[in-house]
Amino acid sequence: MILDHDILNHLQKIITRLAAAAGIEIAVFDNNCQLILYTPSYLHHKGRTVHTPSLEEVMQEGKMIVNEPGRMPSCQGCRFKDKCPATIEILSCIKVNRYTFGVVALTSFTQEGHTMMSGNPAVYWSLAQEIAGLVSAVVLTVQGGSKTRFHYLDEMLLSAMHLTPDPVIAIDHNGQITHYNRAALTHFSFCNLSAASLKQILPPAILSGILSGEALENRSVNTPHFHGRLTATPVRLEGTFAGAILTIRQTVSHHPSDKPADFSKSPGSSALNEIVGNSPSIIQLKKDLLQFAPTPSPILITGETGTGKELVARAIHANSPRHNGPFVAVNCASVPETLFESELFGYMEGAFTGAKRGGKAGRFQTAQGGTLFLDEIGEMPLALQAKLLRVLQHYVIEPVGSTQPIPIDVRIIAATNQSLEDLVETKAFRADLYYRINVIPLHLPPLRERLADLPQLCQHLLARYAQRVNKPTPPFSQEMLDLMGQHDWPGNIRELENAVEYAVNITSSSPLTISCLPPRLRQILTARSAAPPMKKKLQHYEQQAITALLDAYGWDRAGKEKAAKELGISLRTLYRKCSH
């Protein structure tokens, strides 16, 4: 069926706004695989010439599929084979009653878009179905002899805007606000967004640029009513500016005069309080944790052994909408390779010799409605990595011995003390799985980088273990704390826990002194405190040289790498010397 110009123009306006709000590209094809609706970026990257096999598969089978462009069998013969500009596509069939009208495609041409869509497949499947339903409704209305007013356009546009936790607003060509999401309502609580204009929010210079059709990318804006980075995507119809979608990413201030963060009102405050410390890195970690906990996207926690990765994963779960659901932890390094698949996905009765009668649910099913924590994911066998990737693409599992897919509703948090980038380079870890689980990265600093937290950590652990062994809680002597602050703690908090638990068990007096520490640690600290005067002088000069280099290059990781290179030592050695 051919739609007239007015109808196509109205549909074009709808999909352009939806695409801008959702941060993706949209295209619609008729049943002859002709491109009839599209966002400008889609046309720019792929043109009007269409490779049809995927579209034909969707229409013939009347289904929805997710494409990894350039890697699918249907990509054979395409002019973009092995160099496809698209990173991901979700294709949905458009049906009008029983008649196949065409296909809607949600696409991204960036790795960020790939991560966003693959991390929330159910949300984007739903959006694709909504758009297919909209086109179907338009066709039915035209067949009935009247033109629709698209009464549910507002609901669709808002659904797309709610895909992001950032404030998003839509404006018309005059700057009047037409749509906004919940985050925007909170961010701009000083005004009534339902009756507001950008004139109440943005400086005149920036406003005039947006209303003239200028695109902004991460522009920093700081006014009494606006703090953050602004991205503005203009919406054009037939070359004329029709409005824009604005996304605001709020900035976090690190000014010394900022008030200390108050985490006591967070829904999972007890779990959050288990992450002990007030150093800048820990405060920022808690802020990031609370920001990302409500989202369904996968999280990858990195950090050395003993830094508390499972503790952070539990805090994320406790502060998420899934906090009433189960938290299921799997240590990938401790599961035998032969049992890995049945452990994760479960098995059916009779699936293999020794299978339990009635079968067994896997960890994914046990975590239904909650969070699955995959610790040491770098140890996962390659064959299982491919199956996990499929689960994260489609959110369905198949137990061993079954051909019936089971839908799952699980949030994935993974953790590793290895460099997955290095494992990807050596082909020990799949690159596509790495990008799928690394949607939101969180890094835990080693204890030697936050020694300011040591006294608070010691007191926290002391109270815990004293209660466990039913002893009074003795204080630490200042001498003991000073000496412990000179250690580089290669085992991180786990090593500190070991030392404090030992001290609680061995002490019979108060306060705790160095004699209460484990023998090996006591020997290291005693030798360090007994260093001869000349050695102490050399250490002092060494510290001065290190400080001067870090002042010049910066105290962040990049600056420390440059300083270590100039000093001719490893980065680990530099961290150890910084902690002395």
Q: What is 146-214 written as a DSSP string?
A: S----TTHHHHHHHHHTTSSS-EEEEETTSBEEEE-HHHHHHTTTS-GGG-BGGGTS-HHHHHHHHTT-
Torsion of Cα atoms, 496 then 502 then 508 then 512, to 10°: -20
Closest CA to 446 of 304, 255, 299, 292: 304
Residue 189 banded pLDDT, cuts 50, 70, 90: low
pLDDT higher at 137 or 443? 443
pLDDT higher at 28 or 191? 28
| Strand ranges of the sheet holding 64-67, from the earlier edge strand across to the other edge | 35-38, 25-30, 99-108, 88-96, 64-67
pLDDT tens-digit series, residues 462-499:
888 888 888 877 788 888 888 888 888 999 999 999 99
What's the whole-number average pLDDT of the chain? 80
Task: Answer yes or no: are the C-beta atoms of 312 and 302 closer than 8 Å.
Answer: no
Amino acid at 562: K
Tokens at residue 293, please? 């906990």
Closest CA to 399 of 336, 343, 469: 343
Residue 265 banded pLDDT, cuts 50, 70, 90: low
Task: Answer yes or no: are the C-beta atoms of 520 and 489 closer than 8 Å.
Answer: no
pLDDT higher at 73 or 131? 131
Closest CA to 415 of 447, 384, 458, 377: 377
Confidence (pLDDT) at 253: 38
Amino acid at 330: V
Q: Is the pTM of this model over 0.75?
A: no
- φ, ψ of residue 404 to 5 degrees: the values are -95, 115
Confidence (pLDDT) at 143: 59
Closest CA to 54 of 19, 86, 24, 17: 86
